Structure 1
Amino acid sequence: MTSATAPAQASSAPAAPAAAADDAFTGRRAFAFLIMVFGMFMAILDIQIVSASLAEIQAGLGAGPDEISWVQTSYLIAEVVMIPLSGFLARMMSTRILFTLAAAGFTLSSLACAGSSSIGEMILWRGLQGFLGGGMIPSVFAAAFTIIPPARRNIVSPMIGLVATLAPTVGPTVGGYLSHAFSWHWLFLVNVIPGIGVTVGAFLLIDFDRPNWKLFDRFDWWGLLALAAFLGGMEYVLEEGPSNDWFADEAVAILAVVMVVGGIVSFWRALTRDEPIVDLSAYRDTNFTVGSVFSFVMGIGLYGLTYLYPLYLGRVRGYDSLMIGETVFVSGLAMFIMAPIAGFLSSKLDLRVMLMGGFLLFAASTWMLTGLTDQWDFGELLLPQVLRGMALMTCMVPINNLALGTLTPDKMKGGSGLYNLTRNLGGAVGLAIINQLLSDRQALHYDRLAESVSWSNPEAVSQLSAMGANLAANGITDDRAALAQMVGKVTGQAMVMSFIDVFFLIALLFAGLSVTALAMRKPAPRGGGGGGGH
Structure 2
Amino acid sequence: MTSAAASPSNAARGQTASPAPAARPQGGADGFTARRAIAFLIMVFGMFMAILDIQIVSASLAEIQAGLGAGPDEISWVQTSYLIAEVVMIPLSGFLARMMSTRLLFTLAAAGFTLSSLACATSSSIGEMILWRGLQGFLGGGMIPAVFAAAFTIIPPSRRAVVSPMIGLVATLAPTVGPTVGGYLSHAFSWHWLFLVNVLPGIGVTIGAFFLIDFDKPNWKLFQRFDWWGLVALAAFLGGMEYVLEEGPSNDWFQDEAVAILAVVMLVGGITSFWRALTRDEPLVDLSAYRDTNFTMGSIFSFVMGIGLYGLTYLYPLFLGRVRGYDSLMIGETVFVSGMAMFLMAPVAGFLSSKLDLRVMLMGGFLLFAVSTWMLTGLTADWDFRELLLPQVLRGMALMTCMVPINNLALGTLAPDKMKGASGLYNLTRNLGGAVGLAIINQLLSDRQALHYDRLAEAVSWTNPEAVRQLSMMTANLAAHGITDDRAALQQLAGRVTGQAMVMSFIDVFFLIAVLFACLSVTALLMRKPRAAAGGGGGGH
Q: Residue 529 of structure 1 corresponds to which residue in structure 2?
A: 537
Is this contact kept in 2: 1:22–1:149, CA < 8 A? no
Return the alpha-carbon distance in structure 2 between the equivalents of residues 487 and 265 of structure 1.
51
User: In the alignment, residue 445 of structure 1 is paired with which amino acid?
Assistant: H
Correspondence for 2:408 among 401, 405, 429: 401
The answer to whether 1:272 aligns with 2:279 is yes
Q: TM-score normalized by structure 1?
A: 0.96
8 Å Cα contact 1:75-1:126 kept in structure 2: yes
Partner of 1:4: none
- How far apart are 1:529 and its partner, in Å? 1.9
Secondary structure (helix, strand or coil) at the match of 2:250 reads coil
Match of 1:50 among 45, 52, 57: 57
Task: Write the mapping of 1:236-255 to structure 2, written as runs, cut at 5 A.
Answer: 236-255=243-262
* 55 and 479 in structure 1: CA distance in 2 versus 1, 3 angstrom threshold: same
Shift, 1:21, TM fit: 8.5
Is this contact kept in 1: 2:373–2:391, CA < 8 A? yes
**Partner amino acid for 2:256?**
D
Which of the residues 404, 410, 416 maps onto 2:423?
A: 416
Q: Is the 8 A contact 1:21 1:149 kept in 2?
A: no
Within 2, Cα distance between the matches of 1:67 and 1:377?
31
Query: Residues 27 and 34 of structure 2 are in contact (CA less than 8 Å); yes or no, is this contact kept in structure 1?
Result: no
Q: Does 1:160 align with 2:201?
A: no
The one-letter code matched in structure 2 to 1:183 is S
Match of 1:294 in 2: 301
Q: What is the identity, as a one-letter code, of the residue corresponding to 1:350?
A: D
> Which amino acid in 1 is paired with 2:250?
S
**In the alignment, structure 1 residue 200 sits paired with structure 2 residue 185:** no
State yes or no: 1:496 paired with 2:528. Answer: no
Letter matched to residue 540 of structure 2 = G
Q: Which runs of 5+ in 1 are unaligned?
A: 1-18
Instruction: Identify the residue that residue 34 of structure 1 maps to in structure 2.
Output: 41
- Contact 1:22 / 1:530 at 8 angstroms: preserved in 2? no
CA distance, structure 2, for counterparts of residue 531 and residue 41 of structure 1:
24
Aligned partner of 1:455 among 459, 462, 467:
462
Q: 1:21 to 1:428 in 2, by over 3 A?
A: farther
Query: Which whole-Å CA distance do the structure 1 matches of 2:516 and 2:292 have between them?
Result: 24
Partner of 1:59: 66
Letter in 2 for 1:69: S
CA positional deviation for 1:531: 1.4
Q: CA, structure 1 residues 465+484, in 2 after alignment: closer, same or farther (shift >3 Å)?
A: same
Q: Deviations over 1:260-294 (max 9, x none)?
A: 00000000000000000000000000000000000
Residues 159-192 of structure 1 show CA distances to partners (whole Å, capped at 9, x for unaligned) of: 0000000000000000000000000000000000
Task: Map residues 203-214 of structure 1 onto 2, 5 A cutoff.
Answer: 203-214=210-221
Distance 2:414 2:447 in 1: 42
Question: What is the Cα deviation at residue 334 of structure 1?
Answer: 0.1
Give the Cα separation in 1 of the matches to 2:464 and 2:27.
79
Residues 311-350 of structure 1: CA distance to partner in whole angstroms, max 9, x if unpaired?
0000000000000000000000000000000000000000
Q: Tell me the distance in 2 between the aligned counterparts of 1:503 and 1:458.
A: 32
The question of 1:81 aligning with 2:88 is answered: yes
1:68 paired with 2:75, answer: yes
* Preserved contact between residue 21 and residue 148 of structure 1 (Cα < 8 Å): no
**1-side partners of 2:537 and 2:465: how far apart?**
73
Partner of 2:448: 441
Deviation at 1:417, TM superposition (A): 0.1
Given that 1:21 and 1:531 are in contact with CA atoms closer than 8 Å, whether structure 2 keeps it comes out as no
Q: Which of 506, 510, 527 is the matching residue for 2:517?
A: 510
Q: Tell me the TM-score normalized by structure 2.
A: 0.95
Does 2:270 match 1:263?
yes
SS at match of 1:232: helix
Aligned to 1:107: 114
Partner of 1:321: 328
* Cα pair 1:299 1:427 within 8 Å, conserved: yes
Count the aligned residue pairs. Answer: 515
Q: Residues of 1 paired with 2:31 and 2:79: CA distance?
A: 41
Contact 1:20 1:530 in 2 (8 A): no
The structure-2 alpha-carbon separation of the partners of 1:21 and 1:511, relative to structure 1 and needing over 3 Å to count, comes to farther
Distance 1:458 1:224 in 2: 65
8 Å CA contact 1:81, 1:131 repeated in 2: yes
Would the aligned equivalents of 1:109 and 1:125 in 2 still touch at CA under 8 Å?
yes
Aligned to 2:439: 432
Q: Letter of the 1:74 partner, please give it.
A: S
Q: 1:311 to 1:22 in 2, by over 3 A?
A: farther
- Identify the residue that residue 6 of structure 2 maps to in structure 1: none
3-state SS of the aligned residue for 1:340?
helix
Q: Distance in 1 between matches of 2:118 and 2:75?
A: 19
Cross-structure match for 1:92 = 99
* CA–CA distance in structure 1, aligned partners of residues 410 and 32 of structure 2: 22
Shift of 1:532: 1.1
Cα deviations across residues 411-447 of structure 1 (Å, max 9, x unaligned)?
0000000000000000000000000000000000000
1:169 equivalent to 2:181? Answer no
For 1:473-488, list aligned pairs within 5 A: 473-488=480-495
Task: Give yes or no for contact 1:73–1:236 (8 Å, CA) kept in 2.
Answer: yes
What is the CA–CA distance in structure 2 between the aligned matches of 1:184 and 1:377, rounded to whole Å? 27
Q: What amino acid is aligned across from residue 307 of structure 2 in structure 1? A: I
Residue of structure 2 in register with 1:6 after alignment: none
> Structure 1, residues 336-393: CA drift from partner, whole Å, max 9, x if none?
0000000000000000000000000000000000000000010000000000000000
Q: Per-residue displacement from partner, 1:428-471 (whole Å, max 9, x unpaired)?
A: 00000000000000000000000000001010000001001100
* Structure number having the greater helix percentage: 1
- Residue 340 (structure 1) aligned to one of 342, 347, 361: 347
> CA separation in 1, counterparts of 2:29 and 2:171?
26
What is the aligned partner in structure 1 of residue 18 from structure 2? none
Q: CA deviation at 1:72?
A: 0.2
Give the equivalent residue in structure 2 for 1:378.
385
**Whole-angstrom CA distance in 1 between matches of 2:524 and 2:30:** 34
Give the residue type in structure 1 aligned to 2:240: G
- Matched with 2:239 is 232
Give how far 1:22 is off.
Answer: 4.5
Deviation at 1:24, TM superposition (A): 2.4
Cα displacement (A) at 1:23: 3.5
Matched, 1:181 2:173: no
CA offsets per residue over residues 47-105 of structure 1, 9 Å max, x none? 00000000000000000000000000000000000000000000000000000000000
